[in-house]
């Protein structure tokens, strides 16, 4: 899978480039929006919002206006007050807010590639990244099977997606809104109760509610249990 990384901060670009390569992706980094608009031959674009020439939102809008259906993930900083709805209206497929972990970004890249019909597994020749392991819990993203110790856990499609999303970054707290956006659909604006109902069901199937901890006023996180 060939990624175009549009990022003007050389140290962030170098770190991401190296990290993504270690996950098996081909990466080319360019520092400007102008360069992004003329680049060809990529499977997915990682687009920084704050660029020196055209901002990322404008690059996104122009790419879509030119008929490109290339998957786009926006990289935004909290301080930039990214307007989520506007970003998605401009045609971005997803976004991550800095600071993010490499694992989280890789999980998003694969999720967007899956959703948009590409193969998120191409950049993963060894297949190792398709297994998420949190303590005794092993989630196989390829076969969509979940094992807990010796036993198998049977989940619905959404329950699986929810668990895989939380397991991509164990210990990290995800808000209900983030979970809705990434597990359901970027354009889902339904009730956040949906998340709670699925969390309750996954907890029950894992046999220990503490696997998915509620962080009051924030959201949920997955923690390994003995």
Q: Is 80 in the site for Ca ion (CB under 5 A)?
A: no
Residue nearest to Ca ion (CB): 50
| CB nearer Ca ion, residue 54 or residue 214 | 54
Binding string, residues 29-68; x marks residues near Ca ion by CB under 5 A: -------------------x-x------------------
Which residue shows structure tokens 């949190």? 134
Taking the complex as a whole, the smallest distance from the CB of residue 68 to Ca ion amounts, in Å, to 21
Task: Provide CB contacts within 8 A for 41, sequence distance 6+.
Answer: 2
Is 178 among the residues that bind Ca ion (CB under 5 A)? Answer: no
Q: How far apart are CA 195 and CA 177, in angstroms?
A: 9
Closest CB to Ca ion among residues 33, 123: 33
Q: Smallest gap, in angstroms, from Cβ of residue 174 to Ca ion? A: 24
E-strand ranges in 65-218 read 72-77, 94-98, 131-134, 137-140, 145-148, 151-153, 174-175, 212-215
The 3-state DSSP class for residue 11 equals: helix
Q: How many residues bind Ca ion (CB under 5 A)?
A: 3
Question: What sign results for the dihedral spanned by CA atoms 30, 36, 40, 46?
Answer: positive
| Environment class of 39 (CB within 10 Å of its CB; exposed 0-12, middle 13-18, buried 19+) | middle
| Nearer Cβ to Ca ion (50/135) | 50
Q: How far is the CB of 14 from Ca ion (least distance, A)?
A: 14
Q: Does 181 bind Ca ion (CB under 5 A)?
A: no
Nearer to Ca ion, 61 or 145 (CB): 61
Does the protein bind Ca ion through residue 13 (CB under 5 A)? no
> Which part of the chain contacts Ca ion (CB under 5 A), choosing from 2-10, 32-40, 80-88, 98-106?
2-10
Positions in the binding site for Ca ion (CB under 5 A): 8, 48, 50
């Amino acid at each position: 899978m060939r990624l175009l990384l549009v990022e003007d901060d050389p140290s962030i670009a170098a770190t991401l480039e190296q990290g993504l390569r270690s996950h098996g992706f081909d990466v080319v980094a360019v520092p400007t929006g102008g360069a992004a608009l003329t680049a060809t031959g990529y499977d997915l674009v990682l687009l920084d919002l704050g660029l020196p020439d055209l901002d990322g939102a404008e690059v996104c809008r122009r790419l879509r206006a030119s008929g490109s259906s290339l998957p786009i993930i926006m990289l935004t900083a909290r301080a930039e007050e990214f307007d989520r709805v506007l970003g998605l209206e401009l045609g971005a497929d997803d976004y991550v807010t800095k600071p993010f972990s490499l694992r989280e970004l890789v999980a998003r890249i694969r999720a967007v590639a899956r959703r948009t019909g590409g193969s998120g597994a191409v950049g993963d020749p060894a297949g190792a990244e398709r297994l998420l392991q949190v303590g005794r819990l092993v989630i196989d993203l390829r076969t969509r099977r979940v094992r807990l110790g010796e036993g198998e856990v049977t989940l619905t499609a959404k329950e699986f997606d929810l668990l895989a999303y939380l397991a991509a970054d164990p210990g990290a707290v995800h808000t209900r809104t983030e979970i809705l956006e990434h597990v359901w659909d970027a354009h889902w604006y339904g009730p956040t109760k949906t998340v709670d109902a699925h969390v309750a069901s996954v907890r029950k199937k894992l046999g220990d509610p503490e696997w998915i901890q509620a962080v009051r006023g924030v959201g949920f996180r997955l923690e390994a249990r003995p």
